[in-house]
Amino acid sequence: MNSSATEAHERLLVNDEFWDMFLPLFYDEKKIHEFSKITGLSEDRIRTAREAHFARRITPHLHRNNGTIN
């Protein structure tokens, strides 16, 4: 796999819209394995990105522009 394709796949892993749309697929370990083979990313990298997405969604954060905590 060329480096530009790998970079594109890495960008997917940090894109919340990607995870919002496709997260149910990644509950299945077989799908993680398949995505890993297709993209050339390691299965551990995909799992780590999935967990990071969960953390961003669950962890409260301050919206400085309007002072709310979400």
* Domain ranges (residues) in the chain: 3-61
- Give the model's pLDDT for residue 33: 95
- Give the model's pLDDT for residue 61: 63
d(CA 44, CA 12): 15
Instruction: List the structure tokens of 37.
Output: 């083979």
- Give the model's pLDDT for residue 42: 93
- Give the model's pLDDT for residue 59: 67
Q: In the chain, which stretches have pLDDT less than 50?
A: none
